Structure 1
Amino acid sequence: MSLKRAHGDIQPGLKWGPFTLRIPGIHVDLTPSTHLQGGLLLLATGGATAPLLVQYFGVSFDIAWTVMLVMFFWVFAQTFLFGDVYSAGGIAAGLPLTIVFLDSLTPGPEAVRAMIAITLVVSALFLFFGLSRLGERFNRMVPGPLKAGIIMGAAVAAFRSELGRLDSMPLTLVTAWAVVLTLMFSVPFARLPNTRLKTLVGANAMLVAFIVAGVVGLVSGELEFTIEWGFFVPPLGATLDALAPWSVGMPSWDMILTATPIGVMLYILAFGDLLVADTLLHEADDARGDEKIDIDLTRSHYVLAIRNLAQMVTAGPLVMLHGPIWTGVQVFLIERYKKGRQVMDSIFTGTTNFYLMAIPLGLLMPVLGLITPMLPVALSVTIILTGFACAFVAMAMVHDNVERGVVLTIGMLTATLGPAWGISAGLILCAVLLGRRGLPGDADDKTPESPAPDSKATVDAS
């Protein structure tokens, strides 16, 4: 049993600076029923970007999977080591934009240095806006149509990348897309009676899509599963030799300057994720009076900077950077949390137990044999969901045909020519075509949309 808190207090832990260490089994209850589901889902969705590391960084799958295992540690660290309350994830909406950026580079060390540059820019922004506490003011200064255009750029880039991948396994991918979009967004499915089966299937839409697509892929011959016994031994030395900054070299100032526009975009998307997370957690806090949920935006900025920098020096950079929240898991855990202390003692009980077994499971060769062939499918589902959700959120943020045209133009330029073009052209279009509505600091005050929904899509699929 974990240490018990007094009614209405913050969950106990060991304070260190602005952070709090909570050891599973001591400060947080263990709930084994969550371990397998959470571990497998994190391996499949979080590990989905491993093929991108192979493609763009020119490394072996063993090295790519080692990077993923280190990523799982830093994802888990957000909860148990730093004491941040969110269900950690990645900046999913930024992934299509990052892919567009990497497509213009030579795979190998050049692409690795480019991702190091992006990581440094985003981490510096997290640190600056955390220390200065100016993040919310900066978010308000970005014109609403420009934010919508950035999100639309992620949508366009997502669909372009996945349509290009369709020839490799058409039946498997189309099946996965159809199942997950139906379960998550279908109006007829939502109108079905709320049976236990519907609730179970809807809550595990991505897992169901993976299973159905796996069966279709196996039957059609597009997927092949090879099960081996034993344990995966991560080649940490070879990973650092291939991807660490001191091995491939630091990016040039020109590269950092080139990476700055996409870094700014990623920060905007991540800050929106923080606002979404705060909205969800305030609802959870209102639902229960036995625990005070400790939400601290400044601490979260520090944590995100540390996670990304620590990832870079312990296993090399990621293609999808560390972000604040995995929205689907956060919503799932909060709904359980609202049912009372007898179901989930603390909000940290959910996050800690959901992530706890990802690394141990990821070291088992039989599990790897099942998951590895599905990683391209998991990646495709993640990107398609991101694109679909980003598209409808971007369109919901605009209010007339001129704004829709501006948003689509910014999105197309961002996805085809890059973030620098998207931001530059977007600022000009907002000023020329929208007048005062498109000026920094004015758009959000004059439109009914709040900052939180503009990134709801950024992590719905992460």
Structure 2
Amino acid sequence: MAKKREYGAIHPGIKWGPFTMRIPGVHIGWTPSQLFQGGLLLLATSGSVTPLVMQYFDVSFEVAWTLGLIFLFFVVAQTIFFGDVYAAGAITPALPITLAFVGTLTPGVEVIHALTALYLMCALIFLFFGATGLGLKFNQLVPNVLKAGIIMGGAVAAFRTELDRLPTMPFTLVTAWAITLFLLYSLPFKQLSSTKLKIFVAGNAMLVGLVFATGVGLLTGELSFSLTWGFFIPPIAETFSTLSIWSIGVPSWGVFLSVLPLAILIYILAFSDLLIGDTLMKGADQIRKDEKIDVNATRSHYALAARNFLQVITVGPMLWMHGPIWVGVQVFIIERYKQGRKIMDTIFAGPMNFYILAIPLGFLLPVISIITPLFPVALSVALLLTGFACAYVAMSMVEDQTTGGMILIIGMVTAFLGAAWGLGVGLVLYILLIGLTGKKEEKRKMEADKEIS
């Protein structure tokens, strides 16, 4: 039985440093209805980069899958060990840009060194801005048009990747895209009466899209399944010797310098996620008076620094970067949380129940054999939603024709030439077209960027 809290108090746990550990079944109660569907969705989405890890890291499926399970452990750790309020995830908008970057490198050790340096650089940036509290000031110094251009770069890179993938399974991917976008963004669908069926399919849009796409894929022959029984035994020694910094060595200073622009870009994207999460939590906090939601930007920075650093020093980097929030899941969790304490006792129960079964399921060969053929579909949906969300966020930041053109140029340059070019071209365009004193657009955003620490 989960421990009870006083009305209006922060949910109890075990304090350690700036963090609070909350043990499942002791501090956080179980919600059986969320365990299986959440575990499968997280496992399929996180595991969807497994083929890319095999390609760019030049490793076997077993090594790539083991790496993914370690990644999932640190995702779950954000709620259980670090006690952060958000439903943890990856910095998904950075994935298309990261893929464009590693695509210029030789698969194997060169890519692993580059991503090791990127992880360590990002961990250092999170730690610095968390310890100094300068994250908000840095975010305000970056012109909004440059932020929008970077976000647009994620959209362009995502759409470019998925259009290239489309010929491999056109019917399956189009079905997954159409259903998921319809359930999440369709105005006619939103206008329908809020029945239980509508609430269910809207809250599980990605899962519903995958199910229908699976049916279409089987009918068209684009997907096939072969069931395997047994348990997955992780090749720990091989994974360690292939990927770990202790085995392949520390990247050179030149590698660290080469990833610095990308690390800065990733931090900007991550801080934007924190602002989104803060807005979502404030809305939930106004409705649920029985629990004080403890949003703390400093703790979030420390948790992100720890997750990215520990990922590298334990087994090695991933293509995903550890990020503060999985926005789609966070929205779903908060909508359930708003329904009251009987539905969700504490905000921490949402991500814990939604995530925790993913790791045990990842050791079952029948589950692996079922979701493995769906990896391209799950990754495609994740990147499509990322591109769609990035595009409308970037376009919502257009102030006039000048900034609209700048955002598109910065986005295209970032997607096709990389983070360094995107940042450089963005700064030059800002100076030439807006000027160093052109701060009016930033001033209009200051109220939205109040300090969240």
Task: Work out the CA distance in 2 between the residues paired with 1:334 and 1:119.
Answer: 30
SS in 2 for 1:15: strand
| Separation in 2, partners of 1:55, 1:438 | 45
Q: Is the 8 A contact 1:397 1:449 kept in 2?
A: no
- The corresponding residue for 1:197 is 197
Shift, 1:188, TM fit: 2.3
Structure 2 partner of 1:430: 430
Return the offset for 1:193: 2.8
SS in 2 for 1:347: coil
Matched, 1:355 2:350: no
Which amino acid in structure 2 is aligned with residue 444 of structure 1? E
Q: In structure 2, what is the Cα distance between the partners aligned to 1:359 and 1:351?
A: 14
In the TM superposition, residue 446 of structure 1 has moved relative to its aligned partner by 3.9
Q: How does 1:241-260 map to 2 (within 5 A)?
A: 241-260=241-260
How do 1:73-152 and structure 2 match up within 5 A?
73-152=73-152
1:325 partner SS = coil
Task: Percent identity, please.
Answer: 56
CA displacement 1:194-248 (0-9 Å, x = unmatched): 3222221111110011111111111111111111111111111111111111222
* Structure 2 partner of 1:168: 168
Which residues of structure 2 form unaligned runs of 5+? none
1:407 is the counterpart of 2:407:
yes
Q: Deviations over 1:343-381 (max 9, x none)?
A: 111111212111121111111111111111001110111
Structure 1 stretch displaced more, 329-338 or 147-156: 329-338
**Distance in 1 separating the partners of 2:136 and 2:447:** 15
Matched pairs, number = 450
How do 1:317-328 and structure 2 match up within 5 A?
317-328=317-328
Equivalent position SS for 1:20 = strand
Unaligned runs of 5+ in 1: 453-462
Name the counterpart of 1:232: 232
| Shift, 1:383, TM fit | 0.7
How big is each residue's C-alpha offset from its partner over 1:279-336, in whole Å with a ceiling of 9 and x where there is no partner? 1112111112211111111011000000011111222101110000011111111111
1-structure distance, mates of 2:192, 2:27? 41
Q: State the SS of the aligned residue for 2:275.
A: helix
Aligned equivalents of 2:417 and 2:342: distance in 1? 53
RMSD: 1.5
Using the size of structure 1 for normalisation, the TM-score is 0.95
> Letter of the aligned partner of 2:423 in structure 1?
I
Q: Hey, what does 1:43 align to over in structure 2?
A: 43
Provide Cα deviations, 1:399-419, integer angstroms capped at 9, x if missing partner: 111111101110111111111
1-structure distance, mates of 2:375, 2:256 = 30
Opposite residue 391 of structure 1, the aligned amino acid is: A
Q: Is the 8 A contact 1:214 1:374 kept in 2?
A: yes
CA distance in 1, matches of 2:74, 2:427: 36
Which residue in the other structure is 1:157 paired with?
A: 157
Match of 1:390 in 2: 390
Cα 1:37/1:438, change in 2 over 3 Å:
farther
- Which residue of the partner structure matches residue 299 of structure 2? 299
Q: Quick check: 2:116–2:317 contact (8 Å CA) kept in 1?
A: yes
Q: CA deviation at 1:339?
A: 1.5
- How much has 1:34 moved relative to structure 2? 1.3
Q: Is the 8 A contact 1:436 1:443 kept in 2?
A: no
Q: How is 1:172-191 mapped onto 2 (pairs within 5 angstroms)?
A: 172-191=172-191
How much has 1:338 moved relative to structure 2? 1.3
> Is it true that 1:282 corresponds to 2:282 in the alignment?
yes
Q: Match for 1:14: what amino acid?
A: I
1:31 CA displacement? 1.7
- Tell whether the 8 Å contact from 2:48 to 2:379 is kept in structure 1 after alignment: yes
| Deviations 1:399-448 (CA, angstroms, capped at 9, x unpaired) | 11111110111011111111111101101101111225656xx6421458
Question: What is the identity, as a one-letter code, of the residue corresponding to 1:105?
Answer: L
Q: Is the 8 A contact 1:155 1:388 kept in 2?
A: yes
Question: How far apart, CA to CA, are the structure 2 residues paired with 1:332 and 1:126?
Answer: 27
Q: Give the Cα–Cα distance (whole angstroms) in 1 for the partners of residues 314 and 7 of structure 2.
A: 40
Q: Distance in 2 between matches of 1:450 and 1:402?
A: 22
Residue pair 2:136, 2:449 contacting (<8 A) in 1 also:
no
Query: Given residue 416 of structure 2, which amino acid in structure 1 is its aligned partner?
Result: T
Please give the alpha-carbon distance, in whole angstroms, between the structure 2 residues aligned to 1:399 and 1:234. 51
- 3-state DSSP of counterpart to 2:105: coil
Tell me the equivalent position of 2:56: 56
CA contact (8 A) 2:120 2:312 kept: no
For residues 2 and 75 of structure 1, do their structure 2 counterparts lie closer, same or farther at Cα, with a shift above 3 Å needed? same
CA 1:96–1:283: 2 relative to 1, 3 Å = same
Cα deviations across residues 134-170 of structure 1 (Å, max 9, x unaligned)? 0000000000100000001111111111111112212
d(CA) in 1 for partners of 2:337, 2:21: 21
Tell me what 2:264 maps to: 264
**Which residue number in structure 2 is paired with residue 455 of structure 1?**
none
* Distance in 1 (alpha carbons) for counterparts of 2:194 and 2:171: 30
The amino acid across from 2:54 in the alignment is: V
- Please state if 1:445 is matched with 2:446: no
Q: Distance in 1 between matches of 2:449 and 2:224?
A: 44
Take 1:345 and 1:227, find their aligned partners in 2: how far apart are those partners?
38
TM-score, length basis structure 2 = 0.97
Distance 2:356 2:445 in 1: 42
- Specify the SS of the correspondent of 2:87: coil
| Aligned amino acid, residue 386 of structure 2 | T
Query: Contact 1:413–1:422 (CA<8 Å) still a contact in 2?
Result: yes
Deviations for 1:61-81, whole angstroms, at most 9, x for unmatched residues? 111111111111101100111
Q: Distance in 2 between matches of 1:39 and 1:126?
A: 28
* Alignment-mate amino acid for residue 285 of structure 1: D
The one-letter amino acid of 1:208's match is V
